[in-house]
Amino acid sequence: MEITYFAPSTQRGKNLFEAISKKINHPIKVYYSEESTQTDFLLAIHTSDVVIVDCTIPDHLDKSSISVYPLLTAQVNILDHIIVVSESQLPLNITPSRGIYPHADDETTTAEQIVSGIGTIVEQVIKNDTYPRLTHKNIEGLLKDQMGMEQMLTDSLDIKSQRPHNKPLVMISYRNSHCKEVELFIQEIIGQGKIDIKVLPPASLCGEREAHTPMRRWMLVGLLDDHIREVDEVWIYETEDYLNSWWTIAELVMTANINYHNSKQIKVKVYNPNTSSFYDEVPSKYNVTITDQQHQRLARLQSNTRPDTMGPESLEQIKQLKQVAAFLRIAPEETKQQMLSNLKSYLEMSVPKSLDGDDRQEMIEDMMKMYSDPDELERYSSDDVFQDEFWNYISYQTTQKTAAFNDKEFFIDVDAFINVPMREVTHFRPEDFANAAQSKKLLSLGEGDNKHTYSITRSGIVCRYLWLATRMGRPTIKQAPGLERIDIYDVQQYEDKR
């Protein structure tokens, strides 16, 4: 059995490794972050029987911060034999299959707790070892085995989809302001022993008054989508204000989007706490119908806001697309055809071979069509997702009721939902909110009749973190290699009580 360990090159990281090594009492190959590369991680997770990763976030983040985050790849969230340990909260987009780490913003995990529990989890990995590891000795051989890597991902996802005791897994959708009564409801349901519950703690992704850019709003919706995909049913805990929020409507829209042309349908049910019962049928106001155009638009928003596939550096690539469009308009036909031939060869190598043959070919053809048409390239590069307002300005719901719900005709308007984040863009950047919170300055938000004065305060959560993957050998960093700190600010309409 081969066990591999990735640790920060800090004294704390080294001490934790030594303690775990003694506890497991088995030879462990250790990689320290400052002496290792992303290719070391990629090779180890496909060839080792067990991989342990210390994802503890440094107390202070700056460009000299030391952690394992620059080494990580997306497989950290998927492969079943990877064990994540951390004394601090994890970034929002690190959601491993196994591990010992805090599960709420206000929790910490001690080194002693990690050492105490690690042996049991290693035994679980060995017991559930249902897929073979690859046998490559170097990264060059591994990278040529794309089918083998994709098969490991597929096998791990199959394990994650298995349900203990064959109980359906249910996610409760609710407004954070009703979390206390929802907790009681959950305890009652769990006591019946018929289902397993998945409930996101209040404000675990976003609080009711948090301020975000449109990009970050859609990024959080993408993380929410990941959670929804794991469940069999979504239960709405009905309250009068449920449809007032863009965020709760996001849960229903993304459920409908997942169900779109999907053989496995996530069932939606609505619980009325006043009658202590479920409706026989879902009331029409909660039903969401997705069109093909909306489905494609949501896919576009998600793919361009996922932190593991999209980062600030991607905006430079968009500038290059505009240059390609300009080049296509003037280049000789022979030069254009040579460029497109090279592109097709690249796509044939890079598009996952595990995709269904027809889907894979369609994806390649769609990419070729776009790169063959300068008008289409310009339309693509002019999309909202590549605009400065989308990335760098705060978007905030100042109205009591979101425009995503049509309260005249009583239905969820998916087109309005998609457009709301850009419609609610303010003329303030995150640093303006930071300055307002520090100086206790009031900000004027909204437009027309909805324009009001707001106070900005630091949230009790203070901050969350986001993992930004290293791409093409370069960390996509803001504050620290592989990590972005998200400062959380609450926005409250100001009332002058003088």
In a domain, 469, yes or no: no
In this structure, the answer to whether residues 39 and 182 fall within a common structural domain is no
In a domain, 431, yes or no: no
Residues 6 or more apart in contact with residue 138 via CB below 8 angstroms: 43
In a domain, 208, yes or no: yes
Nearest to 127 by CA among 79, 76, 84, 81: 81
Domain of 352, in residue numbers: 314-382
Nearest to 467 by CA among 351, 243, 277, 309: 309
Q: Which residue has the tokens 């959380």?
A: 488
- What SS3 state is found at 150? helix
In this structure, the answer to whether residues 176 and 153 fall within a common structural domain is no
Per-residue pLDDT in tens (0 to 9) along the chain, 498 residues:
899 999 999 999 999 999 999 999 889 999 999 999 999 999 999 999 999 999 999 988 888 889 999 999 989 999 999 999 999 989 988 989 899 999 876 778 999 999 999 999 999 998 877 789 999 999 999 999 989 999 999 998 888 777 666 788 999 999 988 989 999 999 999 888 888 888 787 777 787 778 889 998 998 999 899 889 989 999 999 999 999 999 999 999 999 999 998 888 999 999 999 999 999 999 999 999 999 999 999 988 988 887 766 655 566 667 777 788 888 888 888 888 888 888 888 888 777 665 666 777 887 888 888 888 888 888 887 888 888 899 889 999 988 899 999 989 999 999 999 999 999 999 999 899 999 999 999 999 887 777 789 999 887 776 888 888 776 555 555 567 888 888 888 888 887 655
Nearest to 367 by CA among 334, 344, 336: 344
Residues 6 or more apart in contact with residue 328 via CB below 8 angstroms: 336, 372, 374, 377
In this structure, the answer to whether residues 322 and 276 fall within a common structural domain is no
Query: Is there a contact between 485 and 215 (Cβ–Cβ < 8 Å)?
Result: no
Last residue of a domain, one of 339, 361, 382: 382
> Which phi and psi (to 5°) does residue 417 adopt?
-55, -45
Exposure pattern of 389-401 as b/e (b: 16+ CB <10 Å)?
bbbebbbbbbeee
In a domain, 142, yes or no: yes
The CATH number of the domain holding residue 281 is: 3.40.50
In this structure, the answer to whether residues 193 and 258 fall within a common structural domain is yes
What whole-number distance in Å separates Cα of residue 100 and Cα of residue 98?
A: 7
Query: Is there a contact between 47 and 31 (Cβ–Cβ < 8 Å)?
Result: no
Number of domains in the chain: 3
What whole-number distance in Å separates Cα of residue 372 and Cα of residue 167?
A: 50
In this structure, the answer to whether residues 98 and 40 fall within a common structural domain is yes
pTM score above 0.95: no
In this structure, the answer to whether residues 68 and 127 fall within a common structural domain is yes
In this structure, the answer to whether residues 22 and 149 fall within a common structural domain is yes
In a domain, 427, yes or no: no
In this structure, the answer to whether residues 126 and 227 fall within a common structural domain is no
Residues 6 or more apart in contact with residue 440 via CB below 8 angstroms: 455
In this structure, the answer to whether residues 142 and 218 fall within a common structural domain is no
> Which residues partner with 271 through β-bridges?
237, 278
In a domain, 372, yes or no: yes
In this structure, the answer to whether residues 203 and 258 fall within a common structural domain is yes
Amino acid in the structure at residue 285: K
In a domain, 490, yes or no: no
Alpha-carbon torsion, ordered 467, 473, 476, 482, to 10 deg: 30
* pLDDT score for 494: 81
What whole-number distance in Å separates Cα of residue 125 and Cα of residue 148?
A: 20
* pLDDT score for 280: 96
Six-digit token string for 244: 């007032």
In a domain, 31, yes or no: yes
Residues 6 or more apart in contact with residue 394 via CB below 8 angstroms: 211, 212, 213, 425, 426, 428, 429, 430, 432, 433
Last residue of a domain, one of 269, 303, 337: 303
What whole-number distance in Å separates Cα of residue 470 and Cα of residue 494?
A: 42
Last residue of a domain, one of 137, 161, 185: 161
* pLDDT score for 335: 87
In this structure, the answer to whether residues 74 and 180 fall within a common structural domain is no
Give the H/E segment covering residue 70: none
In this structure, the answer to whether residues 286 and 322 fall within a common structural domain is no
- What SS3 state is found at 84? strand
* pLDDT score for 380: 80
* pLDDT score for 308: 64
